Amino acid sequence: MMDRRSLLAFPALLPVAASAQGAWPSRAMRIIVPFPPGGLADLLARPLAARLQTALGQPVVVENRPGAGGNIGADLVAKAAPDGYTWLLGSIGPLAANQFLFAAMPYETRSAFAPTVLLVNTPKVIVVARNRPWQNLAQMLEAARARPDAVRAGSAGNGSSLHIALELLKQQGGAQILHIPYRGAAPAVTDLVSGQIDLMVDNLPNILPQIREGTVRALAVATPQRLPQLPDVPTTAEAGLPGFVFGTWFGLAAPARTAPEIVARMAAAVDAALREPEIGGRLAEQGAVLGGGTPEAFASFIAAQTTALEAVIRSANIRAE
């Protein structure tokens, strides 16, 4: 977590001229989703935009600007006017990890945005093909240590959060597991179900239906406490790997130098929306841990995540595709 001096170093939290504040909002706003339609970020943005439109009294439009691991859409927001009318629904990539994965970035990650509010954190769960003999995490890791690279793990691609989580698992578990990158999580899940690969460290909302159907076996959840969606699945600490805690998170951010009053009001509106059953309740049912809170809390969260992600990425020499 950041101390007070580190938090004050965020340019995103500095005030701007009063002319930028005005009577906000007085016109339509847009939320940039830097990923393709239909993904988790997009499915999160659209009901949230509808609720914010009611709460703030102005239209809120969702625009998908995918590409470069989220960097294209994030760069659009980074260079937008800091007037409270352009927002980024960012994630672990464009807000933290990408700066270590890409050789060149179109924006300076640590100073480009005003962190606004954490939306959700989607826990990772370690799952294996149902025809594999491993009944717990210790057995899987023992098999991987005994035969280096014989255990094959799929991910959504090089540099994806699934890949980073796998590398952390390898580091914490002292095992050599062969990484098989796919173009997205869906084809990796297909091959896991059919037994073409051995395991995945996947986002819970993505793999929960297969776990419930019994087409894959969950060995552990990478969370401090057990999850209500999988009460019988142990945490990684309970399974003997206390250092492995990992989730993919999403949050809202504005361009740097956006007025703190605007950022705080948006954070409060999002926080209220997440407490409503039609938004927060549905997300929780799908395996997401709800966020909320203040801009300062989200800035501290991003800083802590950035430090942890940098260590894993540099140690494993991960590069984006």
- How do the pLDDT tens digits run along the chain, 321 residues long? 334 333 333 333 334 433 444 599 999 999 999 998 888 888 899 999 999 999 999 999 999 999 999 999 999 999 999 999 999 999 999 999 999 999 999 999 999 999 999 999 999 999 999 999 999 999 999 999 999 999 999 999 999 999 999 999 999 999 999 999 998 899 999 999 999 999 999 999 999 999 999 999 999 999 999 999 999 999 999 999 998 999 999 999 999 999 999 999 999 999 999 998 888 888 888 788 899 999 999 999 999 999 999 999 999 999 987
Give domain status of residue 189, yes or no.
Answer: yes
Domain span holding position 261: 4-121+248-316
Q: What is the DSSP letter of 114?
A: E
The β-bridge partners of 29 are 60
DSSP symbols for 271-286: HHHHTSIIIIIHHHHT
DSSP symbols for 7-57: HHT-GGGS---GGGTSSS-SS-EEEEE-S-TTSHHHHHHHHHHHHHHHHHS
Q: Are residues 104 and 128 located together in one domain of the fold?
A: no
Q: Are residues 45 and 140 located together in one domain of the fold?
A: no
Alpha-carbon gap, residue 234 to 27, rounded angstroms? 48
Give the pLDDT of residue 18.
37
Q: Are residues 209 and 112 located together in one domain of the fold?
A: no
Amino acid identity, position 199: L
Q: Are residues 56 and 13 located together in one domain of the fold?
A: yes
Contact 249, 73 (CB under 8 A): no
Residues 6+ apart with CB under 8 A from 158: 181, 318, 319, 320, 321
Domain total of the chain: 2
Q: Are residues 157 and 259 located together in one domain of the fold?
A: no
Give the pLDDT of residue 281.
83
The CATH number given to whatever domain includes residue 165 is 3.40.190.10
HSE-up (13 A, CA, CB side) for residue 271: 14
Among residues 170, 204, 221, the one where a domain terminates is 221
Alpha-carbon gap, residue 138 to 243, rounded angstroms? 14
Q: What are phi and psi of 153, to 5 degrees?
A: -120, 135
Give domain status of residue 241, yes or no.
Answer: no
Q: Are residues 115 and 253 located together in one domain of the fold?
A: yes
DSSP symbols for 235-274: BTTTTT-TT---EEEEEEEEETT--HHHHHHHHHHHHHHH
Q: Are residues 13 and 94 located together in one domain of the fold?
A: yes
Alpha-carbon gap, residue 17 to 49, rounded angstroms? 27
Entry field: residues in the chain: 321
